[in-house]
Chains A and B, each alone.
Chain A
Amino acid sequence: MNPSSVTAPAHQADAHAHHEPQGFFSKYLFSCDHKVIALQYTLTGMFMAVVGVYMSYVFRMHLANPTAHIPFYGVLSPAAYNSLVTNHGTIMIFWVAMPVLLAGLGNYCIPLMIGCDDMVFPRVNRLSFQIFFLSTVLLLLGFIAPGGAFGGAWTSYPPLSAKADYNMTPWGNKIWLLAVALEIVAFLLGGINFITTAMNSRAKGMKMFDMPVLVWMIVIATIIFMMSVGPLVAGAVMLLLDQTVGTHFFGAQGGDPVLWQHLFWFFGHPEVYVLLLPELGVVCEIICVFSRKPLFGYKTMVYTTFMVGILSMVVWAHHQFVAGIDPRMASIFSLTTIIISIPVAVIMFGMIATMFKGSIDFKVPMLWAVGIIVEFLLGGVTGIYLGSSALDVYFHDTYFVVAHFHYTLIPLVAFGGFAIFTYYFPKVTGKMLDERLGQIHFWGTAIAFNFVFIPLFFSGLAGEHRRIYDYSGFAELATPGMLKMRVIATHALLVMMAFQLPFIWNVLKSLFAGAPAGANPWKANTLEWAADSPPPHGNWPELPEVHRGPYEYSVPGREDDYWPQNAAN
């Protein structure tokens, strides 16, 4: 089949004849425009972030002061504690990190950065969001189902998750599983769109290595997601049959509960890198723009990222060192886990080398980007402790683990989300954010964040087990010293939440009274800044042509210190 016959309908579509959809519903709710879908994903994700933070507020308040009446909630029951802990984790990974970092960012940036007018399959894209929205509603419905929402932890280990007799949530466990499965379907549909668009729809003149590193990272993250999620889909079908029909895939009668752990973590660990890579891509873009320097080792970054993707597939069993796996296997997985820190470290050094001797301008997006590097480093380094199977036997399921992955995920999801938000706000709305409020927000959040989780490292080292409703039954964990750590963490969380108020005020103020941004407020090279702010339906009056790579900053002999990819000379 020759390509020209396939593209036959193409000739009917005229690049200049984009009709802006009229009316609120067709423009904002049922639009196929990648930018609107990106905003739908992002805003749904931000709403779910509020829900997830509220849950953490409730159980942290409970841990700091058990039996107390919690403002805006009441008294927390043990079953509700389990539901909240479970759904806090589920929501933050699947309904905040994935939609904001992957779906929202990817949908907004891929077509704009590679210079085309939309995703290759806009209607599939819309379907992807609709399924995602359905999954969101389904998950929240779990809270009003008989028996309450699922409380068997976000990893949903059987046999606890397989039998309603054990988990006491006959509806909640099935609803949780179906919601996660639907959410995965939504991202598979979106992911096929991402990869195909980046491969096939780049602007005229844009070669593979002319793509901004952010596009590379999103595409590689999507491929990792697609290659790792399949076994979990199969596992979800099997678990659903265990729950509903009464099969014993993961039961004691002929089945194997550890099999679920393998299926879950075969996806669950690569998922960490699915969330990490788009974030690192954003940090690369921001650091280049605000250091006025080309990215250090562009191609090395891309190859290293591929290496991360491959290695991420062979580390999963480090979550199961105490699950009774073969000790010889534990050594292998310790080794791969420690090896994967090498390519990630290469990427981090590349970022630092990009800043080296640059003319750094600490605007708010740059603050968040540097914040990510500093805080993520702490999360990554504590990961090396946990990757070593000898140490993990002691640390497993303690607050050390909780503090470790919050030190990786909060820099990625919260700091990264704010970096994306502050960097792209001028593009999306056409208005500038207030710098001073942004700085207050950054410093307040970053400092409070450390006070939440550094105490948890220490309580974890002291042996504090996670997922415990009431510590009074454990003499060595109910000491005043241990309680003090919990209280510090909870107070710091309240401070961190309070420091989101300047952010909300900043967004509202800037939306209505912000200074106009213009097309390219940061003087950046990549193609999205060549479009109007906000870009219209179809993105450009005429689709751009690309003449050079994305990081031509401070080129000697040029008057401007930037050189947009689409500028003829």
Chain B
Amino acid sequence: MSAFQIPVATTRSVTGIPTGRLAIWWVLASEIVIFGGLVTCYILFRLRHPEWAAEAAHTKLAAGAFNTFVLLTSSLSVVLAHLAATKKDTVNAKRYLTYTILGGLVFLCVKAYEYTSEISHGFTITRSVFWSFYYTATALHALHVVGGMTIMAIILPDVAKGKFLPRVEYIGIYWHFVDLVWLFLFPLFYIASAA
């Protein structure tokens, strides 16, 4: 296979927006409707089933609140990584990206603790449709966290060498989206337990 060459098309920017940033926004647009569809289904069910409030009381509010804090902090560190990347400060860009990955890792550990505890108390995915939605939505979100962490780990060596620095911005935009989805899931599944 011959070496891949970047075509002229990739380097053009008629809108003035870099192609990578434009594309990541379209990726998010398609992601928004995926999560939007799932969350809308849940909300419609939730309005019809006031008794789900009792089920939601069994989710771990404190753990969820802590995870919200962790994700928001990791969003801050990815912004700092972006800031460093714009200044071509590869040392700090690498450091803050690593912090972001660690933030994702803490989030997943807490999530794993929650799942274990809930399942051991009998709140499994098949217990009721509330728990089916809970596990589906949070697991789909957790997969996006894993995806974001994986991509950051892949771009980290290049960032350290100062190559493809705009990628820090693009993964940052994606990470904010993952954060934003959680800001919908947290109140819907954890807080809205008293109704």
Contacts and interface: CB of A to CB of B under 8 A. Distances in A.
Nearest to A225: B30
A154 B23 CA distance: 32
Contacts of A395: none
B15 A199 contact: yes
A488 interface: no
Contact of B86 (A1, A191, A233): A1
Contacts of A117: 7-9
Interface in B26-68: 26-27, 29-38, 40-41, 44-45, 49
Contacts of A26: 1-2
Given A30-B1, A247-B125, A247-B129, A230 B33 contact: yes
Q: Counting chain A CB atoms within 10 Å of each CB, which of B19, B37, B128, B136 scores highest?
A: B37
Interface stretch (A3-11, A41-49, A155-163, A505-513): A3-11
Contact of B33 (A191, A195, A227): A227
A19 B7 CA distance: 11
A229 interface: yes
B15 A237 contact: no
A10 B10 contact: yes
Given A230-B34, A233-B37, A263-B37, A6 B166 contact: yes
B17 interface: yes
A146 interface: no
Interface in A459-515: none
A282 interface: no
B39 to A, nearest CB: 9
Interface stretch (A120-128, A271-279, A407-415): A120-128
B30 A230 contact: yes
Interface in A10-28: 10, 12-13, 15, 17-19, 21-22, 25-26
B16 interface: yes
B27 to A, nearest CB: 6
Given A227-B33, A230-B30, A248-B132, A6 B9 contact: no
B37 A231 contact: yes
A200 B14 CA distance: 5
Interface of A is mostly: helix
A15 B5 CA distance: 10
Contacts of B1: 21, 25-26, 30
B10 A1 contact: no
Contacts of B5: 13, 17-19
A294 interface: no
Q: Counting chain B CB atoms within 10 Å of each CB, which of A121, A123, A196, A199 scores highest?
A: A196
B126 A230 contact: no
Interface string A185-201: 00010011101110111
Contacts of A179: none
Contacts of A329: none
A1 B32 CA distance: 25
Contacts of B91: none
Contact of B23 (A121, A227, A249): A121
B48 to A, nearest CB: 9
Interface string B128-140: 1100110010001
Contacts of A557: none
B40 A201 contact: no
A122 B30 contact: no
B126 A1 contact: no
A249 B128 CA distance: 9
Nearest to B26: A192
Interface in B52-94: 86
Given A122-B7, A237-B136, A249-B132, A195 B26 contact: yes
A234 interface: yes
Given A3-B13, A226-B33, A245 B126 contact: yes
Nearest to B12: A201
Contacts of A249: 41, 129, 132-133
Contact of B7 (A5, A118, A226, A259): A118
Contact of B30 (A17, A196, A226): A226
B4 A123 contact: yes
A111 interface: yes
Given A26-B1, A30-B1, A247-B129, A192 B23 contact: yes
Contact of B34 (A233, A255, A259): A233
A234 B140 CA distance: 9
A43 B169 CA distance: 38
Contacts of B18: 1, 3, 6-7
A120 B33 contact: no
Nearest to B130: A254
Interface in A219-277: 226-235, 237-238, 241, 245-249, 254-256, 259, 263, 266
Contacts of A60: none
A7 B133 CA distance: 43
Contacts of A193: 23
Nearest to B124: A245
Nearest to A9: B6
A234 B35 CA distance: 7
Contacts of B165: 5
B36 A231 contact: yes
B32 A230 contact: yes
Contacts of B120: none
A120 B15 CA distance: 14
Contact of B6 (A10, A227, A255): A10
B31 to A, nearest CB: 8
A396 interface: no
B37 A232 contact: yes
Interface string A417-461: 000000000000000000000000000000000000000000000
A468 B64 CA distance: 52
B187 interface: no
B20 interface: yes
Given A192-B27, A229-B30, 7 more contacts: A7-B11, A13-B6, A30-B1, A123-B4, A231-B38, A238-B41, A246-B126
| Chain A to chain B: the 6 pairs with minimum beta-carbon distance, closest first | A230-B33, A231-B37, A10-B11, A6-B18, A118-B7, A234-B38
16 contacts: A13-B8, A22-B2, A121-B23, A122-B4, A192-B23, A192-B26, A192-B27, A200-B12, A200-B17, A201-B14, A226-B26, A226-B33, A230-B30, A234-B34, A235-B41, A241-B132
Interface of B: 1-2, 4-23, 26-27, 29-38, 40-41, 44-45, 49, 86, 125-126, 128-129, 132-133, 136, 140, 164-166, 169
